[in-house]
Structure 1
């Protein structure tokens, strides 16, 4: 029986910007996007820091980059994270699942410098807790992050289901840890990309039906 539902944040509960913070940093640092993502995973997603601290660290590595510009980008990202808009399907679907007695946890690989100092009111309305990779020291798809959630929620792997929009970092990673998984494809056009063993959803409104009997 499923006791705990974990939900990815960006792209699942919260819309992502057309140009991500990491993509903007990649342009400023003169990196391609894969290298910038790897760098952010190394420097920023496994620890808390401030926008100013990360900007200075990046400027030290990339001496031709303006630290003030980096700080501006990172601070703007942190400001957005304090009041994120939710997808319209988020609250209705999660309210129905909560009414079944499921514990709801949001999980995100957010940059540590964008983690709000105080609980985010918008998220508190739909989930019971938010797990930031910066506080765990591990990011999806690392198994350490999923094991941390098992311990924090006192749930066994077979009692957990994870929902997210990344086939690899969300669905496949959860399945590899023995969890159930739902891959969210908001385009509704790629069911063939759903990892074997995961359920497929085009909207969060599908969740109550997919989890019927598990609440």
Structure 2
């Protein structure tokens, strides 16, 4: 399964074009749909993005374009521009947009990751034997949740035997009234056995 997946991704990597993976571009396009309420202010040192929460309270975040960081923390954690960075990037059409996405999401990195091959494993008889100098035991079993099964039934006076059932019709031990009670077969016995 692993080699099949590796081969499949190698073929996918050979067909990809551009600099950023298509799935990442799709995610970034989806984020840009909700940026109309953000306002961007650029000065010499930083970029500030402002907006309003639904309850009309203001918020603001500061971007550092050189280190690819935002005060919200999302950009440096994921490597993909956060909505605040995307609001700035969309304002300026002359910016090289792929430079704001981490190199990890590039098509070139994807191709390099799946360019090699997985070496085949040899037969088990050819595996090296390792002397561990101790015997490795399985982990101790944990007690199951709930009441233990051995305690569910009350033990009879003799060990190893369960409590015998008493018939409601004849009052004898060893059977029940539904099963093989002798009063079930003969109507006369049935009348005599009633209490």
TMscore range, shorter length: under 0.3
TM-score, length-scaled by structure 1:
0.20
Larger of the two Rg values belongs to structure: 2
Greater fraction of residues in helix: 1
TM-score, length-scaled by structure 2:
0.21
